[in-house]
A = this chain, B = another copy of it.
Protein backbone atom coordinates (compact mmCIF):
# COMPACT_ATOMS: atom_id res chain seq x y z
CA UNK A 1 0.00 0.00 0.00
CA UNK A 2 2.10 2.88 -1.32
CA UNK A 3 1.57 6.60 -1.22
CA UNK A 4 1.22 6.56 -5.01
CA UNK A 5 -1.97 4.62 -4.56
CA UNK A 6 -3.15 7.52 -2.45
CA UNK A 7 -2.42 9.97 -5.23
CA UNK A 8 -4.23 7.73 -7.70
CA UNK A 9 -7.40 7.38 -5.67
CA UNK A 10 -7.28 10.73 -3.89
CA UNK A 11 -8.10 8.86 -0.71
CA UNK A 12 -6.12 9.21 2.52
CA UNK A 13 -3.95 6.29 3.46
CA UNK A 14 -5.93 5.47 6.59
CA UNK A 15 -9.14 5.34 4.51
CA UNK A 16 -7.51 2.87 2.12
CA UNK A 17 -6.38 0.79 5.08
CA UNK A 18 -9.94 0.90 6.42
CA UNK A 19 -11.45 -0.26 3.12
CA UNK A 20 -8.89 -3.05 2.93
CA UNK A 21 -9.67 -4.24 6.45
CA UNK A 22 -13.44 -4.06 5.85
CA UNK A 23 -13.05 -6.14 2.71
CA UNK A 24 -11.22 -8.80 4.69
CA UNK A 25 -14.05 -8.88 7.21
CA UNK A 26 -16.64 -9.10 4.42
CA UNK A 27 -14.65 -11.95 2.87
CA UNK A 28 -14.66 -13.70 6.25
CA UNK A 29 -10.86 -13.78 6.39
CA UNK A 30 -11.52 -12.78 9.97
CA UNK A 31 -14.81 -14.22 11.19
CA UNK A 32 -17.13 -12.46 13.66
CA UNK A 33 -15.74 -12.76 17.16
CA UNK A 34 -12.16 -13.46 16.10
CA UNK A 35 -9.22 -11.18 16.83
CA UNK A 36 -7.51 -9.09 14.19
CA UNK A 37 -3.70 -8.89 14.14
CA UNK A 38 -2.27 -6.17 16.36
CA UNK A 39 -2.01 -2.60 15.12
CA UNK A 40 1.74 -2.94 14.78
CA UNK A 41 1.58 -6.17 12.75
CA UNK A 42 -1.06 -4.74 10.43
CA UNK A 43 1.08 -1.65 9.95
CA UNK A 44 4.10 -3.75 8.99
CA UNK A 45 2.03 -5.93 6.68
CA UNK A 46 0.47 -2.97 4.88
CA UNK A 47 3.55 -0.80 4.94
CA UNK A 48 2.09 2.05 6.97
CA UNK A 49 2.69 3.32 10.47
CA UNK A 50 0.89 1.97 13.50
CA UNK A 51 -0.81 5.35 13.93
CA UNK A 52 -2.40 5.10 10.50
CA UNK A 53 -3.76 1.63 11.26
CA UNK A 54 -5.04 3.01 14.54
CA UNK A 55 -7.02 5.75 12.81
CA UNK A 56 -8.63 3.20 10.48
CA UNK A 57 -9.51 0.89 13.38
CA UNK A 58 -10.85 3.77 15.49
CA UNK A 59 -13.30 4.67 12.75
CA UNK A 60 -14.31 1.03 12.35
CA UNK A 61 -14.89 0.81 16.08
CA UNK A 62 -17.09 3.93 15.93
CA UNK A 63 -19.13 2.20 13.21
CA UNK A 64 -19.36 -0.93 15.35
CA UNK A 65 -17.56 -3.06 12.79
CA UNK A 66 -15.00 -4.04 15.39
CA UNK A 67 -14.72 -3.95 19.15
CA UNK A 68 -11.48 -2.88 20.79
CA UNK A 69 -10.46 -4.23 24.19
CA UNK A 70 -7.55 -2.72 25.99
CA UNK A 71 -4.81 -5.23 26.73
CA UNK A 72 -6.53 -7.94 24.67
CA UNK A 73 -6.90 -6.91 21.04
CA UNK A 74 -9.35 -5.84 18.34
CA UNK A 75 -12.22 -8.20 17.51
CA UNK A 76 -14.73 -8.44 14.67
CA UNK A 77 -18.19 -7.51 16.02
CA UNK A 78 -20.71 -10.24 16.51
CA UNK A 79 -24.39 -10.15 17.23
CA UNK A 80 -25.13 -10.98 20.80
CA UNK A 81 -28.53 -11.20 22.35
CA UNK A 82 -27.85 -7.99 24.23
CA UNK A 83 -26.64 -6.08 21.22
CA UNK A 84 -29.61 -7.02 19.12
CA UNK A 85 -31.99 -6.31 21.92
CA UNK A 86 -30.66 -2.89 22.78
CA UNK A 87 -29.67 -1.81 19.33
CA UNK A 88 -32.51 -2.89 17.08
CA UNK A 89 -35.45 -3.40 19.40
CA UNK A 90 -36.88 -0.01 20.24
CA UNK A 91 -39.99 -0.77 22.25
CA UNK A 92 -40.12 0.41 25.84
CA UNK A 93 -42.75 0.45 28.54
CA UNK A 94 -44.14 3.55 30.18
CA UNK A 95 -41.08 3.80 32.42
CA UNK A 96 -38.73 3.67 29.44
CA UNK A 97 -37.65 0.14 30.28
CA UNK A 98 -36.93 -2.11 27.34
CA UNK A 99 -39.00 -5.21 26.94
CA UNK A 100 -37.52 -8.67 26.46
CA UNK A 101 -39.82 -10.08 23.79
CA UNK A 102 -40.52 -13.76 23.24
CA UNK A 103 -41.56 -15.21 19.90
CA UNK A 104 -43.96 -17.78 18.57
CA UNK A 105 -43.63 -18.78 14.93
CA UNK A 106 -46.99 -18.88 13.19
CA UNK A 107 -45.93 -19.95 9.73
CA UNK A 108 -42.95 -20.42 7.46
CA UNK A 109 -43.48 -20.52 3.73
CA UNK A 110 -41.50 -20.37 0.54
CA UNK A 111 -42.97 -18.16 -2.11
CA UNK A 112 -42.39 -15.72 -4.90
CA UNK A 113 -41.94 -12.14 -3.78
CA UNK A 114 -44.84 -9.73 -4.01
CA UNK A 115 -44.45 -6.36 -5.68
CA UNK A 116 -44.14 -4.74 -2.27
CA UNK A 117 -41.43 -7.13 -1.11
CA UNK A 118 -39.53 -6.87 -4.38
CA UNK A 119 -39.48 -3.11 -4.23
CA UNK A 120 -38.38 -2.98 -0.61
CA UNK A 121 -35.60 -5.54 -1.06
CA UNK A 122 -34.50 -4.47 -4.53
CA UNK A 123 -35.40 -7.81 -6.12
CA UNK A 124 -36.87 -8.72 -9.47
CA UNK A 125 -40.56 -9.34 -9.00
CA UNK A 126 -41.30 -13.00 -8.47
CA UNK A 127 -37.91 -13.77 -6.91
CA UNK A 128 -37.85 -16.63 -4.45
CA UNK A 129 -38.19 -15.65 -0.83
CA UNK A 130 -38.88 -17.21 2.54
CA UNK A 131 -41.66 -15.63 4.56
CA UNK A 132 -41.99 -16.06 8.30
CA UNK A 133 -44.86 -14.93 10.49
CA UNK A 134 -44.37 -14.51 14.18
CA UNK A 135 -46.42 -13.47 17.15
CA UNK A 136 -44.32 -11.67 19.72
CA UNK A 137 -45.18 -11.33 23.37
CA UNK A 138 -44.25 -8.53 25.75
CA UNK A 139 -44.44 -9.55 29.39
CA UNK A 140 -46.19 -12.70 28.20
CA UNK A 141 -48.98 -10.78 26.46
CA UNK A 142 -49.47 -10.88 22.67
CA UNK A 143 -48.46 -7.45 21.36
CA UNK A 144 -46.81 -7.72 17.96
CA UNK A 145 -47.61 -9.52 14.73
CA UNK A 146 -44.59 -9.68 12.47
CA UNK A 147 -43.95 -10.81 8.91
CA UNK A 148 -40.34 -11.32 7.83
CA UNK A 149 -39.33 -11.74 4.19
CA UNK A 150 -35.86 -12.94 3.27
CA UNK A 151 -34.45 -13.59 -0.24
CA UNK A 152 -33.84 -17.33 -0.68
CA UNK A 153 -30.49 -16.80 -2.33
CA UNK A 154 -29.22 -15.24 0.88
CA UNK A 155 -30.73 -17.62 3.43
CA UNK A 156 -32.09 -20.90 2.12
CA UNK A 157 -32.11 -23.13 5.16
CA UNK A 158 -34.24 -21.72 7.92
CA UNK A 159 -34.77 -24.18 10.77
CA UNK A 160 -38.18 -25.70 11.45
CA UNK A 161 -40.90 -23.63 13.04
CA UNK A 162 -40.22 -25.27 16.38
CA UNK A 163 -36.46 -24.67 16.24
CA UNK A 164 -36.59 -21.09 15.00
CA UNK A 165 -34.31 -18.90 17.13
CA UNK A 166 -35.68 -15.78 18.78
CA UNK A 167 -32.69 -13.80 17.51
CA UNK A 168 -32.68 -14.07 13.72
CA UNK A 169 -29.78 -11.67 13.16
CA UNK A 170 -27.55 -13.90 15.21
CA UNK A 171 -28.69 -16.84 13.10
CA UNK A 172 -27.93 -14.99 9.86
CA UNK A 173 -24.45 -14.22 11.10
CA UNK A 174 -23.51 -17.53 12.60
CA UNK A 175 -24.95 -19.73 9.85
CA UNK A 176 -24.29 -17.58 6.81
CA UNK A 177 -21.75 -14.94 7.78
CA UNK A 178 -24.27 -12.20 7.09
CA UNK A 179 -23.90 -9.37 9.59
CA UNK A 180 -26.79 -6.94 9.84
CA UNK A 181 -25.29 -3.62 10.90
CA UNK A 182 -27.75 -1.10 9.56
CA UNK A 183 -31.50 -0.81 9.09
CA UNK A 184 -34.05 1.75 8.00
CA UNK A 185 -37.48 1.83 9.61
CA UNK A 186 -40.62 3.57 8.36
CA UNK A 187 -43.54 3.98 10.68
CA UNK A 188 -47.22 4.57 10.02
CA UNK A 189 -50.64 3.79 11.46
CA UNK A 190 -52.78 0.90 10.19
CA UNK A 191 -55.98 -0.83 11.22
CA UNK A 192 -55.97 -4.41 12.47
CA UNK A 193 -57.34 -6.97 10.06
CA UNK A 194 -59.30 -10.02 11.24
CA UNK A 195 -56.24 -12.18 11.61
CA UNK A 196 -54.27 -9.60 13.58
CA UNK A 197 -57.26 -8.81 15.76
CA UNK A 198 -57.63 -12.49 16.53
CA UNK A 199 -53.97 -12.99 17.37
CA UNK A 200 -53.68 -9.86 19.49
CA UNK A 201 -56.98 -10.32 21.28
CA UNK A 202 -58.42 -7.05 20.09
CA UNK A 203 -61.25 -5.96 17.83
CA UNK A 204 -60.94 -5.63 14.10
CA UNK A 205 -60.05 -2.08 12.97
CA UNK A 206 -58.29 -1.20 16.20
CA UNK A 207 -55.40 1.07 15.13
CA UNK A 208 -51.91 -0.42 15.24
CA UNK A 209 -48.43 1.00 14.85
CA UNK A 210 -46.74 -0.46 11.79
CA UNK A 211 -42.96 -0.54 11.72
CA UNK A 212 -41.47 -1.52 8.36
CA UNK A 213 -37.79 -2.38 8.59
CA UNK A 214 -35.31 -3.08 5.80
CA UNK A 215 -32.08 -4.54 7.17
CA UNK A 216 -28.76 -4.19 5.40
CA UNK A 217 -25.67 -6.36 5.76
CA UNK A 218 -22.13 -5.13 6.16
CA UNK A 219 -21.52 -5.39 2.40
CA UNK A 220 -24.68 -3.49 1.48
CA UNK A 221 -26.99 -6.39 0.58
CA UNK A 222 -30.61 -6.01 1.69
CA UNK A 223 -31.13 -8.99 3.95
CA UNK A 224 -34.61 -8.77 5.31
CA UNK A 225 -37.93 -6.94 5.14
CA UNK A 226 -39.72 -7.01 8.46
CA UNK A 227 -43.19 -5.59 8.95
CA UNK A 228 -44.25 -5.42 12.59
CA UNK A 229 -47.70 -4.37 13.69
CA UNK A 230 -48.21 -3.66 17.34
CA UNK A 231 -50.59 -2.40 19.96
CA UNK A 232 -49.34 0.72 21.70
CA UNK A 233 -51.63 0.60 24.68
CA UNK A 234 -48.72 0.12 27.00
CA UNK A 235 -45.59 0.30 24.92
CA UNK A 236 -43.87 3.10 23.04
CA UNK A 237 -41.46 3.15 20.13
CA UNK A 238 -38.47 5.12 21.39
CA UNK A 239 -35.89 7.03 19.36
CA UNK A 240 -32.94 9.13 20.44
CA UNK A 241 -32.00 11.94 18.10
CA UNK A 242 -28.43 13.05 18.62
Contacts and interface: CB of A to CB of B under 8 A. Distances in A.
Chain A: number of interface residues, binned into ranges: 20 to 34
- This chain's copy number in the assembly: 2
Interface stretch (A9-17, A106-114, A183-191): A183-191
Interface string A77-94: 000000000011010100
Contacts of A189: 189, 207-209, 232
A88 B186 contact: no
A72 B213 CA distance: 41
A218 to B, nearest CB: 12
A242 interface: yes
Nearest to A235: B188
Nearest to A184: B240
A108 to B, nearest CB: 25
A56 interface: no
Interface of A: 62-64, 87-88, 90, 92, 181-189, 191, 207-209, 213, 232, 235-242
Contacts of A188: 209, 232, 235-237
Nearest to A94: B186
B187 A239 contact: yes
A192 to B, nearest CB: 10
Nearest to A187: B237
A183 B239 CA distance: 8
B209 A191 contact: no
B182 A240 contact: yes
Nearest to A212: B236
Contacts of A208: 189
A235 B187 CA distance: 9
A184 B242 CA distance: 9
Contacts of A241: 87-88, 90, 182-185, 213
A184 to B, nearest CB: 5
A118 to B, nearest CB: 16
B62 A186 contact: no
A238 B185 contact: yes
Contacts of A191: 207
